[in-house]
Structure 1
Amino acid sequence: MYTVPLPIIGTDMAWRDAAKRLIGAGVRPADILWDYGTGMGELFATATPLPPPSRKVKAPKSFVQMADVVVWHKDPQRFARLYDLLWRLRHQPGVMQDRADPELAKLRQMEKAVRRCQHKMKAFVRFRDLRQGGDRRSFAAWFEPTHHTVEPTAPFFARRFADMDWMIATPDVSAQFVDGNLSFHPGQPKPDLPEDAAEALWGTYFCNIFNPARVKIQAMTSEMPKKYWKNLPEAQYIHDLIAGAEAKVRKMQEAGPTIPPERVQKIKDQLRKRQNDP
């Protein structure tokens, strides 16, 4: 039995390296225990080290791309599922194109869930100004992702906010970008972040773009799940906006249509005349 400890930071490269060594040595899935971030692997691990790297190991590009995403899923069985499929690919290279394969379908669902979580992180991270002065602005944010998406998503923020220092803290992993260098650290409890004046401006903008005539609560909560509301400054306005939507729509209807401009009426008269001419 091989016990493979996997770190919380750098999980993707650690799993890929271990999987290549194990598959190259012909180690069966049933003979591997994947231990993610618990430290228990060192306690129960055998003295048998991982096999040396093998140059014979090859996997379809589609599998590698999928695995690089699925490793960030929260399912504790994700590593075993991926290795099971990698084992099967040795003798069934066409599995990656088999849409009816249940194990591949499950992994595809996990891949989709991770990508969705990454999308939500890009949309719902809200930075607060730390106001520490200096040549570069400094910001921090607290986020609670569904999956372990901080590490694969942080480069997006590094590109978008390259002109400032920032930190995204989460319960599992925290990302820091200082002087152009991105680094990752263990998670932490929610920090006591200062109030940010920009949040009031963001709230004003959110209220102004709210259209009471197009309220679809189910669609809104699908795009903005309630689990994120507690960390979104604009979420404090949602309840009142929804509660007052019906009254605002009624008021708009009672106001009635406005009188069309004179040129619009002339166009309508011309069209009506053409329709009546023989």
Structure 2
Amino acid sequence: MYTVPLPRIGTDIAWRDAAKRLIGAGISPDDILWDYGGEMGALFATATPLPPVTRRIKAPQSFVAMANTVIWHKAPQRFGRAYALLWRLRHEPGLMQDRADPGLAKLRQMEKAVHRCQHKMKAFVRFRDLRQGGERRSFAAWFEPTHHTVEPTAPFFARRFADMDWMIATPDVTAQFVDGHLSFHPGQPKPDLPEDGAEALWGTYFCNIFNPARLKVQAMTSEMPKKYWKNMPEAAHIPGLIAGAEAQVQKMREAAPTLPHARAAKIAKRLRKDQD
């Protein structure tokens, strides 16, 4: 039995390296225990040395892309499920195209969930100005992702906010971008971040784009789940906007211009022709 420890930071690199060695040595999925961040405890604390790389087994690019996403899922079985599919691909080369296969379908669901979590992180991270001195502005944010998406998503923020230093703290992993260098560190409790003027701007912006006539609460909470509201300054306005939506729609109806009846418009057109 092989016990493979996987770190919380750099999980993707560690899993790929272990999977290559194990699959090359012909180690069955049933003979592997994947220990993420020491979650298995002292009973399985001793790692089994991995076999050396003896031969390389080429995997489809579609599997590689999927596995690189699935390993950021929160399910403890993610590593075993991905390796089990890799094991089957040795003798089932067309497996990645089999939409009816339950093992592949489960991994696709996990892949989709991670992509969704990454999308939510990009949309809902709210930075606060730390007001520190220096040539570069400094910001920090607190976020609670559903899956382990800090590492794969942080490069997006590095590209978008390359002109400032920032930190995204989460309970699992903390990302820091200082002087153009991106690094990752252990998670931490929610820091005491200062309030800034941007919070009021977020609220003003959200209130101005809110359209009560198109309000669908279920659809809104699906796109903006309530679990994120506590860390989004504009979310404080949501209950009031929902409560007043019906009254706002009625005001919009009353203020709307009155259009002439279609038949009246035809009669007016005919009269203009007669006058001409």
- With structure 2 as the length reference, what TM-score do the two structures score? 0.92
From 257, 269, 272, the equivalent of 2:269 is 272
Residues 1-278 of structure 1 mapped to structure 2, 5 A cutoff: 1-38=1-38, 40=40, 44=44, 48-257=48-257, 272-273=269-270
**1:19 counterpart letter in structure 2:** A
Q: Deviations over 1:201-250 (max 9, x none)?
A: 12111111111111110110111000100000000000000100101111
**How has the CA–CA distance of structure 1 residues 50 and 270 changed in structure 2, closer, same or farther, with 3 Å as cutoff?**
farther
Q: Deviations over 1:182-215 (max 9, x none)?
A: 0000000000000011110121111111111111
Structure-2 separation of matches of 1:240 and 1:188 = 33
Q: Deviations over 1:1-41 (max 9, x none)?
A: 00000000000110000000000000011110000002657
Structure-2 separation of matches of 1:15 and 1:275 = 79
**1:84 counterpart letter in structure 2:** A
Identity value in percent: 81
**1:272 counterpart letter in structure 2:** K
Structure-1 separation of matches of 2:240 and 2:218 = 17
- SS at the partner of 2:94? helix
Structure-1 separation of matches of 2:80 and 2:166 = 35
- SS at the partner of 2:138? strand
Structure-1 separation of matches of 2:259 and 2:26 = 80
TM-superposed deviation, 1:95: 0.6
State the aligned residue count.
Answer: 270
CA contact (8 A) 1:2 1:45 kept: no
TM-superposed deviation, 1:252: 1.6
**How has the CA–CA distance of structure 1 residues 276 and 86 changed in structure 2, closer, same or farther, with 3 Å as cutoff?**
farther
- With structure 1 as the length reference, what TM-score do the two structures score? 0.92
TM-superposed deviation, 1:256: 3.8
**How has the CA–CA distance of structure 1 residues 47 and 160 changed in structure 2, closer, same or farther, with 3 Å as cutoff?**
closer
**How has the CA–CA distance of structure 1 residues 46 and 214 changed in structure 2, closer, same or farther, with 3 Å as cutoff?**
closer
Aligned to 1:265: none
TM-superposed deviation, 1:43: 5.7
**How has the CA–CA distance of structure 1 residues 47 and 99 changed in structure 2, closer, same or farther, with 3 Å as cutoff?**
closer
**How has the CA–CA distance of structure 1 residues 47 and 177 changed in structure 2, closer, same or farther, with 3 Å as cutoff?**
closer
CA contact (8 A) 1:137 1:165 kept: yes
Structure-2 separation of matches of 1:139 and 1:7 = 27
Structure-1 separation of matches of 2:77 and 2:268 = 68
**1:65 counterpart letter in structure 2:** A
Structure-2 separation of matches of 1:159 and 1:142 = 19
CA contact (8 A) 2:169 2:190 kept: yes
CA contact (8 A) 2:25 2:55 kept: no
CA contact (8 A) 1:3 1:32 kept: yes
CA contact (8 A) 1:2 1:46 kept: no
Q: Deviations over 1:101-155 (max 9, x none)?
A: 0000000000000000000000000000000121000000000000000000000
**How has the CA–CA distance of structure 1 residues 256 and 60 changed in structure 2, closer, same or farther, with 3 Å as cutoff?**
closer
Structure-2 separation of matches of 1:72 and 1:274 = 71
Structure-2 separation of matches of 1:31 and 1:165 = 45
**1:209 counterpart letter in structure 2:** I
TM-superposed deviation, 1:158: 0.1
TM-superposed deviation, 1:273: 3.9
CA contact (8 A) 1:5 1:42 kept: no
- SS at the partner of 1:50? coil
Any gaps of 5 or more consecutive residues in structure 1? Answer: 261-267
**How has the CA–CA distance of structure 1 residues 258 and 208 changed in structure 2, closer, same or farther, with 3 Å as cutoff?**
farther
CA RMSD of aligned residues (A): 2.2
